[in-house]
Amino acid sequence: MAERIHITTAITYSNGPPHVGHAYEYLVTDSFVRYQRRKLGAENVTFVTGTDEHGQKNRDAAAAAGLKPKEFSDRIAALFREAHKGLNISDHIFVRTTDPVHEALVQRMLQRTYDCGDIYFKDYAGLYCVGCERFYTEKELLPGNICPTHNTRVESIKEGNYFLKLEKFRDEIVKNVRREGFIRPERYRNEALQMLSEPLDDLCISRPKARLDWGVELPFDSRYVTYVWYDAFWAYLSELPDNSSEALSEVLPVTEHFIGKDILKTHAVYWPAMLLAVGLPVYRHLNVHGFLNFGGARFSKSSGNIKDPVSFERAYGPDVLRYFLLREVTYGLDGDFSEERIVERYNSDLANDLGNLTSRVLSMAARYFQSEVTAQAGTGNDPLDGPLCEAFAATASKAGALIDDLAFNRSLEVIWQALDAANKYIVATAPFTIAKDPAQLSRVAQILANLIEGLRVVADTLAPFMPVTSAKILDLLNVDATLARAQFGQGIKPGHRVKPATPLFPRIEKPKA
């Protein structure tokens, strides 16, 4: 049976348009998805992303916009769909928590948990912050019962609510968190374990409709809707082609969640508890990324440094933002984002290394051989040929293993080492010099065959990171999808014709405003 994998981004709880921070998560995850599709076959990979549309904040944002909640979330969802398209996010299931299929699964799981006796009712009196949608204890608040996050006065509320038992699942949750590689990178595992070293308060999973009616109704008490978090987690699974419990039992052990570090606790503690409560297995990996800063400062609306990520695609061309974020940011750590750095990366890596290498190789092929490949790659006996061919031959597997380990930046580094080797090889073999001697043309042919075949392998390996660029280079090489995937030396054969060079990444002279 073929190995399969299920991959998700966090679903977005957003009352505004997507920004670069969202884009980072989408682009990282999508590159991982694209890699897995190539490795396992597209039919063995499912990819879910979407929007989290219930809850008080969404309802309030809708009210502020003068819209009904559903109309408002339709608009937000459309914005995100548009952003996915603009960012070239590959095929995915776009979940909305207001979709009937999703709501049905949430209700099924609530009912099952209730039937198992893991949800109970109790009266609760406490201080509630509307913005946070949660209760606070007095010592958590600032003097005067002010919410530390929103700087507003919390409300004193007394109401009955439903709770999910958590302590019952503690041992099982801890066992999971301890599991090697469950949380990646490892730094976040320690944080999660620390969270688990303290008593777990049972999770309140309901909101009375009297206070908030924008949510999924509890199947066992129509006076309540479920809390947004309980609702949202199931979005990872609800719109899969088959969301039966049997199917979910198969999917969860191969499920990879990609999230930001801010929602570590909910995913490391609550979500596993929810799954265990309904007798489902815990998912396989929690992949946690850091935040993007802007010139050293946090992205924030007030500082006005929020950028529309799609505008970068338009300004710099496809794949550039994606390349930059994956190459420059170490997965799991915070990264710094600035246009100055993008331009630096663009010029040095994309224009000078990748783009220029493609140009010079194709130009020589055109000039000396009318773009025909006339030798078999990998068969040269010059001492310079061996190392180059070995470098190209090893690139794909090395780069791939690093993607499996979420080391996207190092994976790209490996690919660029191959480009580097190619540029050095050209200088060392100097085909442009020996081409002046007709007697040495066959050697020139050999050199170019090696380079063209190497370029093919690099372009193919680059596909998850730079899908558009990869396709462009493969097109210049006149290679179809099947030929593109061949191992080094098995691809382009003598007699093959490539196309004339066109600049892939024209240099940018000045940073754009």
Partner RNA sequence: GGCGGCGUAGCUCAGUUGGUUAGAGCGGAGGUCUCAUAAUCCUCAGGUCGUAGGUUCGAUUCCUACCGCCGCCA
Interface with RNA (CB under 7 A): 139-140, 187, 190-191, 194-195, 198, 261-262, 265, 328, 330, 333-336, 344, 347-348, 351-356, 358-360, 363-364, 367, 420, 423-424, 426-427, 430, 432-433, 501, 503-507
Host H or E run for residue 36: helix 20-40
Residue closer to RNA (CB basis): 136 or 283: 136
Residue closer to RNA (CB basis): 336 or 382: 336
- Cβ 103 to RNA shortest distance, Å: 28
Which single residue is written with the structure tokens 């490795």?
A: 39
166 within 8 A of 269, measured Cβ to Cβ = yes
- Cβ 449 to RNA shortest distance, Å: 15
Residue closer to RNA (CB basis): 91 or 437: 437
> How many other C-beta atoms are found inside a 10 Å radius of the C-beta of residue 142?
11
- Cβ 278 to RNA shortest distance, Å: 25
Q: DSSP secondary-structure letter at 353?
A: I
- Cβ 198 to RNA shortest distance, Å: 6
- Cβ 234 to RNA shortest distance, Å: 22
> How many other C-beta atoms are found inside a 10 Å radius of the C-beta of residue 482?
8
- Cβ 193 to RNA shortest distance, Å: 9
Residue closer to RNA (CB basis): 250 or 344: 344
- Cβ 367 to RNA shortest distance, Å: 6
Q: How far apart are CA 283 and CA 448, in angstroms?
A: 48
Residue closer to RNA (CB basis): 64 or 430: 430
Q: In what order do the strands lie in the sheet with 155-164?
A: 134-136, 119-129, 155-164, 203-204
Which structure tokens are listed for 478? Answer: 């006149």
Q: How far apart are CA 345 and CA 325, in angstroms?
A: 10
Residue 64, judged by CB atoms within 10 A of its CB (0-12, 13-18, 19+), counts as: exposed
What lies within 8 Å, CB to CB, of 161 at 6+ separation is 121, 122, 124, 204, 205, 206, 207, 208, 224
Beta strand 217-218 pairing with 221-226: antiparallel
- Cβ 248 to RNA shortest distance, Å: 28
Residue closer to RNA (CB basis): 139 or 158: 139
Residue closer to RNA (CB basis): 217 or 420: 420
- Cβ 290 to RNA shortest distance, Å: 9
Host H or E run for residue 431: helix 431-434
Concatenated DSSP letters of 143-158: TTTB-TTT-SBPEEEE
State CA 157 to chain mean position distance.
Answer: 39
Residue closer to RNA (CB basis): 150 or 187: 187
**16-17-19-24 Cα dihedral, nearest 10 degrees:** 110
SS3 37: helix
Residue closer to RNA (CB basis): 179 or 187: 187
